[in-house]
Amino acid sequence: QKEVEQNSGPLSVPEGAIASLNCTYSDRGSQSFFWYRQYSGKSPELIMSIYSNGDKEDGRFTAQLNKASQYVSLLIRDSQPSDSATYLCAVNSRDDKIIFGKGTRLHILP
């Protein structure tokens, strides 16, 4: 079992709707959680980080963390075609290794 699990998708969402991306992790000792966005042929870029339980909002993006359930999610409000990309969940594992999930492909339908 991979340490960080994501649904590979593709997830198709109409333009203007809310996109919801989910991630679970296995290491209860993890303290740092991240969402990266990767466009095709490009390198990943950080869009959200979250370190404590609850919600963290940044513009149209909201990260949600529930350590008891070992679950982290990303909500994208008012989805735009430019949000179409692969979204990678990352978790710091033991010894500060940063482990990624396989990523979820998101398609925003115009």
Partner 1 sequence: IAGITQAPTSQILAAGRRMTLRCTQDMRHNAMYWYRQDLGLGLRLIHYSNTAGTTGKGEVPDGYSVSRANTDDFPLTLASAVPSQTSVYFCASSTTRPPGELFFGEGSRLTVL
- Residue ranges in 62-101 that form contacts with partner 1 under rule CB under 8 A: 88, 90-92, 95-101
Residue of 12, 17, 32, 53 that binds partner 1 (CB under 8 A) = 32
- Near partner 1 by CB under 8 A: residue from 51, 58, 77, 109: 51
Q: Which two tokens stand for residue 51?
A: 């370190």
Task: Please work out the total of residues on this chain that contact partner 1, with binding judged by CB under 8 A.
Answer: 25
* CA separation for the pair 73, 64 (Å, rounded): 5
Tell me the DSSP string of 27-89.
-TT---EEEEEE-TTS--EEEEEE-SSEEEEETTEEEEEETTTTEEEEEESS--GGG-EEEEE
Check if the beta carbon of residue 5 is closer than 8 Å to that of residue 100: no
Among 24, 35, 36, 37, binds partner 1 (CB under 8 A): 36
Pick 10 or 81: Cβ nearer partner 1 = 10
* Closest CB 86 distance from partner 1, rounded Å: 9
Residues that bind partner 1 (CB under 8 A): 6, 8, 31-32, 34, 36, 43-46, 49, 51, 88, 90-92, 95-103
